[in-house]
Structure 1
Amino acid sequence: MSNHTQVHPINNPVFSLPPLSTILVVIQRRRLIWTADGALPEDGDVVLVLEGLGKSLNSALKKLFGASVIDEELVKELVKDIQRALLVADVDVSLVMAITERVQEQALDETLPRGVSRREHIVRVVWDTLAFFLGEKTVPLTINPGKPNLVMMVGIQGSGKTTTIGKLARYYQKRGIKTGVICADNFRPGAYSQLKQLAEKSNVPFWGDEDEKDATKLAKKGVKEMQKKGIELILLDTSGRHREETGLIKEMRDISKGVKPQEIVLVIDGTLGQQAGVQAAAFQKATNIGSIIVTKLDGGAKGGGALSAVAATQAPIKFIGVGEGMDAIETFDPTKFAGRLLGMSDIRGLIDKVREAQIEVEEDQAKRIMKGQFTLKDMMAQMKQLKKMGPIGKVMEMLGLQYKLPEGMAEIQEENMKRWEVMMNSMTKDELEEPKLIKSSRIKRIAKGSGTSQKDVRDLLKQHEQMKKMMKQMGKQRRGRKGGIPGLPGLEGLG
């Protein structure tokens, strides 16, 4: 079981800075430290939090942090709140009872580790228990670079299998793995054209034959073509099927026997809830399912039920689908996922997003900013790079801020960014590099040129000044080797 030495405080006071400034400062800090240290941290994974379940679990823990005394009665109340949250998320009743019995037993009976309070201990017990029942360990998709690795994709019709193949192709292609896709789905009209378009979007080789009716022949021909091209990861799309369709199940077995894939991956719709486990078990009987991808965790309230039900089959969940975009697929790490559900910060996830966005900073610029020489031009660059990382709401999740901010705040900050960029585009080069030049007359001109108000321009200047001060403070902290982000309680470990 994971050993969490520090727990993210859930009952933090309201931040003194607006969320966008918080995010930009944290990202900037990570970038500056990487540049100064000369190396990036190891890769990390990003996990999407199921909003409904996450809010309910977070609310339950808030009671714990707000209590003056931690006793058996409080723990029992916490357990009941967790039970309700899990049942609403369609987690199986017997599994809910197993989870909460374990939490109640360990929360009160275990001896406290040295230096850990009872509150922190209970949160860690909840965190570790959720992670344990979600699979506990991260299991990567095994790929041997330089050799052909064939992965056969199967799933029920409507599970998002073909779209997932396009996402996986993009995911591995971005990581330097030569990837190609094969369409062996001759059952669903439009499957060929859909996969071809997805392959083109991801800029990976595609093979298919609309005239060939034998799916096994299609698969064999496609594999040979990909091997000729030196493709390292071959993703094989098969016909969507139902458990009851014996003909398609036989076809799946025949394809598997004909091409001998290194791994068979089952794609499951996360909105099915507990039924996802039944589906996984049925496919497991039909063929050797090596791993599972759960899709559509960005919609519906049953994702928690789907994940826990699939995990109960012992088949490892390797990826989760978290949206419609081509980049909306993430490796599944049960420990981090559980932490995100509880509102804990996922700095490793933030690091991975920064790496994916290819955010870089020159060493001279890093040293200058650490001294507090942070210009509007720097701020504009930060906003553009933040956009590359995806929606602000998702970045807030990785910082553990999603439950501490008013609803709709992420959308408001997205609009702020657009407005600030328009204002900065109305500034001169000198103004961007020396904001102190911007006095009353210049504020009027910028407001008029950008179609905003003078108050909007002043607000932007205030934001910049706040960030500048924090950058300077962080530079001093770094020289003294003190961790944390000044003025941001709960983010102490970011240094």
Structure 2
Amino acid sequence: MFDNLQDRLDGIFKKLRRQAKLNENNVKDALREVRLALLEADVNYKVVKDFIEQVNQRAVGTEVLRSLTPGQQMIKIVHEELIALMGSSHQRLNFGSQPPTVIMMVGLQGSGKTTTCGKLAHSLITDRKRPIMVAADVYRPAADEQLRTIGRSLNVEVFSPGTHLSPVIISQKALNHAQMHGFDPVILDTAGRLHVDEQLMEELVQIKKMVTPTEILFVADAMTGQDAVNVAQKFDELLDLSGIILTKMDGDARGGAALSIRAVTGKPIKFIGVGEKFDLLEPFHPDRMASRILGMGDVLTLIEKAETAIDKEKAQELARKIKKQEFSLKDFQDQLRQIKKMGPLDQIFNMIPGMSKMNVGKELEDSEGELKKIDAIINSMTMRERESIDIINLSRKKRIARGSATSVQEVNRLLKQFVQMRKMMKRFTSGNKPMNLGMFR
């Protein structure tokens, strides 16, 4: 997401950086290009107009025109205004003073609302909460079964008394059940709407009156751009939303919803969905998103992902093994799997400052495939082979190749690369040159 916008802005700012001095005319020309880039990204017209006026007001003052580095100052202003546009700071979920907290999920059909309920439950479990999900959608076929399947995969209880009851009654019974059994929070998966339907919207109003939710989160598909913003506005007028979750932010959407929805509704984006897996729901940080849009990376999110994915005890054990030169293929496989837990390689890559400007899409695709192949080869080995590669003769290599759907040459290449890596680790622990794991790309 934001790739096209990022490329356009990068080109505009490169021109500005080449100029020793800026004047009102070239600032005006640059802002005209920024305006077009934002409109092409499907950002709301009024939001773009206000944004450009705000940047222009700051840019034509002494802050930029008399600066020693005018191009950098211009980027700084755009960065700060993007942060302000998207909400200035991260907004956490609110929890009521009296448990259980009720989180009501609303939105149109197809926005990924039911899956997002599961992602939110997973996130809350990580924060040591005890959530319960409620199947309050009695209209979409098998909606309750979908939620129960998600609940089983996450080991989260799902309250689903059946589609014969009204969503209002189901929500009330779920709240009573949560109070009796100590669940907190209660996540209500309400029925998605194909459009803003008066009868079904009134039902949401009745649910709100019955259970008094602390949070009413509008789940919007980021791929729908301005439509998501318009619908969010209508939901907000009726329900007074407390926040927004944008899904499918890993897709090729232009980004207009993310840049417009906060300014239009006045309600904060609290989470973004960046993949299909349940652990790919990220808290939304406006400053980090602005940095990504401008190609500055997102080191803080990268660190947080690493801290979540990498087991500290395993890391310490790995350090011990490397020092004693006991690092095996099994250890190597464990490290690859921990890296994969952090998310798709392209997302991780784009969080590293400057890397998003490098055209490495094909290389990353190749790297993903290579990691899967390495995993399959190691899986086809016996435990003894993984611990001691010296015993792997030609006969064993043929068996491993058959088991992993690869060739003997590919098995040989992995073993050769692994031997080279161990030699480099030996030098590294001896205080010589650092390791270069790029050979496995």
**What's the TM-score, normalizing by structure 1?**
0.74
Residues 40-55 of structure 1 mapped to structure 2, 5 A cutoff: 49-55=1-7
Look up the SS of the partner of 1:390 in the other structure: coil
Look up the SS of the partner of 2:235 in the other structure: helix
Q: Distance in 2 between matches of 1:194 and 1:254?
A: 24
Is 1:221 equivalent to 2:173 in the alignment? yes
Q: Distance in 2 between matches of 1:423 and 1:323?
A: 27
Equivalent position of 2:360 in the other structure: 406
Equivalent position of 1:297 in the other structure: 249
Equivalent position of 2:130 in the other structure: 178
The residue type paired with residue 54 of structure 1 is Q
Match of 1:354 among 306, 322, 332: 306
Q: Does structure 1 retain, via aligned residues, the 8 Å contact 2:47–2:263? A: no
1:53 CA drift (Å): 2.6
1:349 CA drift (Å): 0.9
Equivalent position of 1:90 in the other structure: 42
1:339 CA drift (Å): 0.6
Q: Which piece of structure 1 moves more, 441-450 or 350-359? A: 441-450
Q: Does structure 2 retain, via aligned residues, the 8 Å contact 1:269–1:295? A: yes
Q: Distance in 2 between matches of 1:289 and 1:151?
A: 11
Look up the SS of the partner of 2:357 in the other structure: coil
Look up the SS of the partner of 1:153 in the other structure: strand
Aligned residues: 425
Match of 2:205 among 253, 269, 278: 253
Match of 1:203 among 144, 150, 155: 155
Match of 2:283 among 325, 328, 331: 331
Match of 2:372 among 413, 418, 425: 418
Q: Distance in 2 between matches of 1:195 and 1:368?
A: 43
Q: Which piece of structure 1 moves more, 342-351 or 93-102? A: 93-102
Equivalent position of 1:71 in the other structure: 22
Q: Distance in 1 between matches of 2:425 and 2:260?
A: 42
1:141 CA drift (Å): 0.6
Q: Does structure 2 retain, via aligned residues, the 8 Å contact 1:107–1:122? A: yes
Q: Which piece of structure 1 moves more, 76-85 or 134-143? A: 76-85
More helix by share: 2
Percent identity between matched residues is 31
Equivalent position of 1:383 in the other structure: 336
Q: Does structure 2 retain, via aligned residues, the 8 Å contact 1:167–1:328? A: yes
1:258 CA drift (Å): 1.0
Q: Distance in 1 between matches of 2:59 and 2:326?
A: 47
Equivalent position of 1:33 in the other structure: none
The residue type paired with residue 263 of structure 1 is E
Q: Distance in 2 between matches of 1:69 and 1:312?
A: 37
Equivalent position of 1:44 in the other structure: none
Is 1:392 equivalent to 2:349 in the alignment? no
Q: Distance in 1 between matches of 2:157 and 2:84?
A: 39
With a CA cutoff of 8 Å and minimum separation of 6, indicate the structure with the bigger relative contact order.
Answer: 1
**What's the TM-score, normalizing by structure 2?**
0.82
Q: Does structure 2 retain, via aligned residues, the 8 Å contact 1:392–1:414? A: yes
1:273 CA drift (Å): 1.4
Q: Does structure 2 retain, via aligned residues, the 8 Å contact 1:87–1:93? A: yes
1:373 CA drift (Å): 6.4
Look up the SS of the partner of 1:52 in the other structure: helix
The residue type paired with residue 99 of structure 1 is F
- CA gap of 1:177–1:254, structure 2 versus 1, over 3 A, is same
- CA gap of 1:470–1:82, structure 2 versus 1, over 3 A, is farther
- CA gap of 1:217–1:90, structure 2 versus 1, over 3 A, is same
Is 1:190 equivalent to 2:161 in the alignment? no
Look up the SS of the partner of 1:266 in the other structure: strand
Equivalent position of 1:493 in the other structure: none
Look up the SS of the partner of 2:356 in the other structure: coil
1:431 CA drift (Å): 10
1:316 CA drift (Å): 1.1
Residue by residue over 1:358-392, the C-alpha shift from the partner in whole angstroms, topping out at 9 and shown as x without a partner, is 422454754776x7969465544322211222211
Residues 433-448 of structure 1 mapped to structure 2, 5 A cutoff: none
Is 1:167 equivalent to 2:119 in the alignment? yes
Look up the SS of the partner of 1:293 in the other structure: strand
Is 1:311 equivalent to 2:267 in the alignment? no
Equivalent position of 1:142 in the other structure: 94
1:251 CA drift (Å): 1.1
Equivalent position of 2:404 in the other structure: none
Match of 2:83 among 97, 114, 131: 131
1:284 CA drift (Å): 1.6
Q: Distance in 2 between matches of 1:426 and 1:54?
A: 42
Look up the SS of the partner of 2:361 in the other structure: coil
Look up the SS of the partner of 1:156 in the other structure: coil
Q: Which piece of structure 1 moves more, 358-367 or 153-162? A: 358-367
Residues 11-22 of structure 1 mapped to structure 2, 5 A cutoff: none
Give unmatched runs, 5+ long, in structure 1. 1-48, 477-484, 489-495
- CA gap of 1:469–1:104, structure 2 versus 1, over 3 A, is farther
Look up the SS of the partner of 2:141 in the other structure: coil
